[in-house]
Structure 1
Amino acid sequence: MAFHHPLQVFGFHSCDREVGLAILNGEMDLNASNNAWDWLGGGIYFWEQNPGRALSYAEECAEKKQYFAGEIKTPFVLGAIINLGNCLNLLEAESAPVLESAHDGLVQTTAKAELKMPVNKNANRALDCAVIQYLHQSNIDNAIPAYDTIRSSFDEGEKVYAGSVFTKRLHIEVCVINPAMILGYYLPRPIKRYNPYLRAIHKV
């Protein structure tokens, strides 16, 4: 349980326009991602307070420049109001020992099974995903309340300038495990800025 995170955040999801509009119209829901490279484990991923990055990621997926299990033909940014609930907030110091303990448990379990530990390689965060998934299972086994969400920063991209520790794509991601924490969806404004491909749907 995190101690100091905000109760609610605005999240932005990168998706295909048809999917985004269907969700806004109440015709479907977002599906959880369950890929081996999902660094925060299984769940629905959002960019926190960052619709611009959500758009650029959707564009990169449409151009096949990113790991993406689905298909994005027309980039779209879907806004969401998220209640963090019981959040594993990795921005808090108290969360580091939780991850460390989960990693130790995964190492022991893997060794007993005579298997190799997963590793992170470039954009494939197999190790991080395995640690998070082990943590979820450990909570179940020990009757510990399940996490609703996971929140963490992600250091990404080139340095802003030579010698800097700042990167051009540093951001915060929220992984929603319990979909009931998503209170609602909306179309972020200004629309032309964050959904520049929206008008194409009106063309004959």
Structure 2
Amino acid sequence: MAYHQPFQITGFHSCDRDLGLRLLNGSDELRLSDNPWDWLGPGVYFWEQNPHRALTYAVEAARKSQKFSGKIKTPFVIGAIIELGNCLNLIEPNSINIVKEAHVNLLATVRESDEIMPVNKGANRQLDCAVIKFVHQSNKNKGVPRYDTIRSPFQEGGPIYDGANFTDRLHIEICVLNTDLIKGYFLPRPVEEFNPYLNKEFEE
């Protein structure tokens, strides 16, 4: 099902400083991540409107306290203007229903083939990844236009007070499959707040 979002969002990507600088000068591009723990499936991941969380993640990755497929020596945050295009937007009911149906059909497929259903274990979200991949494969089989992006809230961290549903790391993630919809990169301001290691070395 096509669900076009006719607007742009600002996303922030955690990366190594060398890569960030290459992105800014146009000599490199971000590549799709395709790990079994990538909960929204293959794509380039961004924190929507959240440079603070992007920096925190980059620092944690540099300190090896985050599960991360790449190598971050010097934490860096790159900003991007992203057009959502055909978006699987998991903040609206039609998209939720698509994912729910995909889970039901994936479970049936796994049982028929006598295989083992993937499971989520903490940060290793193999079940979520498998369900999203099943959505993409089902669309391909039906000749349905592929998604350009996926947008979803993520409940992370602990409650900010007793009995709260608000968590201290609640955020929205954007997974970009069609990188042509990344319209440009920028250095977030204030620079000293979001890229404190731009001109100095990082110490763990």
TM-score, scaled to structure 2: 0.96
Q: Provide the rounded CA distance (Å) in 2 between the counterparts of 1:2 and 1:196.
A: 38
Q: Is 2:183 aligned against 1:183?
A: yes
* Structure 2 residue aligned with 1:174: 174
| Percent of matched pairs sharing the same residue | 57
Q: Provide the rounded CA distance (Å) in 1 between the counterparts of 2:62 and 2:21.
A: 17
* Structure 2 residue aligned with 1:138: 138
* Structure 1 residue aligned with 2:100: 100
1:85 aligned counterpart, secondary structure: strand
Q: Provide the rounded CA distance (Å) in 1 between the counterparts of 2:181 and 2:134.
A: 22
1:22 aligned counterpart, secondary structure: helix
Q: Provide the rounded CA distance (Å) in 1 between the counterparts of 2:97 and 2:161.
A: 33
2:47 aligned counterpart, secondary structure: strand
The residue identity in structure 2 corresponding to 1:58 is A
The residue identity in structure 2 corresponding to 1:27 is S
Q: Provide the rounded CA distance (Å) in 2 between the counterparts of 1:191 and 1:97.
A: 41
1:198 aligned counterpart, secondary structure: coil
Could you report, residue by residue, the CA deviation over 1:85-141 in whole angstroms, capped at 9, with x for unpaired residues? 000000112211101111111111111211000000111110000000011011000
TM-score, scaled to structure 1: 0.96
The residue identity in structure 1 corresponding to 2:64 is K
Q: Is 2:94 aligned against 1:58?
A: no
The residue identity in structure 2 corresponding to 1:2 is Y
2:145 aligned counterpart, secondary structure: coil
Could you report, residue by residue, the CA deviation over 1:7-44 in whole angstroms, capped at 9, with x for unpaired residues? 11000000000010011111110011100000000000
Q: How does 1:102-181 map to 2 (within 5 A)?
A: 102-181=102-181
Q: CA deviation at 1:6?
A: 5.9
Q: Give the alignment's Cα RMSD to 1 decimal.
A: 1.1
Q: Provide the rounded CA distance (Å) in 2 between the counterparts of 1:26 and 1:96.
A: 36
- The answer to whether the 8 Å contact 2:17/2:75 transfers is yes
1:197 aligned counterpart, secondary structure: coil
Could you report, residue by residue, the CA deviation over 1:121-179 in whole angstroms, capped at 9, with x for unpaired residues? 11111000000001101100000000000000000001101111110000000000000
Number of equivalences: 200
2:199 aligned counterpart, secondary structure: helix
5+ residue gaps, structure 1, are none
- Detail structure 1 runs of 4+ shifted over 3 Å in the superposition: none
- The answer to whether the 8 Å contact 1:11/1:82 transfers is yes
